[in-house]
Amino acid sequence: MTMLNATEASATSTKPAMSSFTSLLEEVRSCRLCAEHLPLGPRPVLQLDRRARILVAAQAPGRKVHETGLPFNDPSGDRLRSWLGLTRDAFYDPKLLAILPMGFCYPGKGKSGDLPPRPECAPRWRDSLLSGLTNIRTTLVIGQYALAYHLPEERAGVTGAVLAWRKYWPRVIPLPHPSPTNNRWFSSNKWFEREVVPCLRARIQEIIAE
């Protein structure tokens, strides 16, 4: 009988899980659950790898992201990458950073910006995908919809949650949405870039160095 050494045994034991996660991702990318409600049709946009160490829990793709199929490929992403101190290459390395929005497809335009994430998406997919991300060191919770899911006990809204960031540090870091439509918030809350962003960058570098 052939005996497996510890490394071989470990690799063998992870194969079914890896295969299952890959199949799940294929299902997500072909999802048409709310197609009839999407003005540009379904195009799930996310970035996932089981080895990811940082999770970006975001809102939903914007129109430009829908068109390119690349998450945060817009001014919001430019600001977020600046906060994190990451190059585009590092940001789009799925082994480092998982990007899992509350809704995977562009929901369309509303009166004052993009519509909320479609409500069908998270209940169908989110728990299963998160259960496969077993190496996450820090979760960045961006905006009100991700906040409601990941920190349901937080009742003070986005600003209150961000003000209380030390309470959740370092496992979860609540953040405002980096969209240019939020510029008034940044002008009124200059403490965020002065106090939170340097600590956030240091945390990201700490994870990279692990």
| Residue 7: per-residue pLDDT | 41
Kindly state whether residue 168 falls inside one of the protein's structural domains.
Answer: yes
Token representation of residue 128:
């299963």
Kindly state whether residue 132 falls inside one of the protein's structural domains.
Answer: yes
Reported as a single tens digit per residue, the pLDDT across 102-143 is: 999 999 998 878 999 999 999 999 999 999 999 999 999 999
* Residues in CB range of 108: below 8 A, 6 or more apart: 38, 39, 40, 114, 115
DSSP per-residue letters across 1-45: -PPP-HHHHHHHHHHHHHHHHHHHHHHHHT--TTGGG-TT-----
Least confident of 10-19, 98-107, 152-161, 184-193: 10-19
Kindly state whether residue 112 falls inside one of the protein's structural domains.
Answer: yes
Least confident of 17-31, 73-87, 99-113, 171-185: 17-31
| Residue 174: per-residue pLDDT | 98
Q: Which structural domain range is residue 179 located in? A: 44-209
Report the mean per-residue pLDDT for the chain: 92
Kindly state whether residue 18 falls inside one of the protein's structural domains.
Answer: no
Total domain count for the chain? 1
Kindly state whether residue 192 falls inside one of the protein's structural domains.
Answer: yes
- Read off the CATH number of the domain in which 134 is found: 3.40.470.10
Distance, in Å, from the CA atom of 63 to the CA atom of 70, rounded to the nearest integer, reads 11
Taking alpha carbons only, the member of 52, 87, 88 closest to residue 70 is 88
Reported as a single tens digit per residue, the pLDDT across 59-101 is: 999 999 999 999 999 999 999 999 999 999 999 999 999 999 9
Taking alpha carbons only, the member of 176, 169, 177, 179 closest to residue 199 is 169
CA distances for 187 relative to 3, 18, 75, angstroms: 64, 45, 17
| Residue 18: per-residue pLDDT | 65
Kindly state whether residue 80 falls inside one of the protein's structural domains.
Answer: yes
Token representation of residue 200:
């956030």
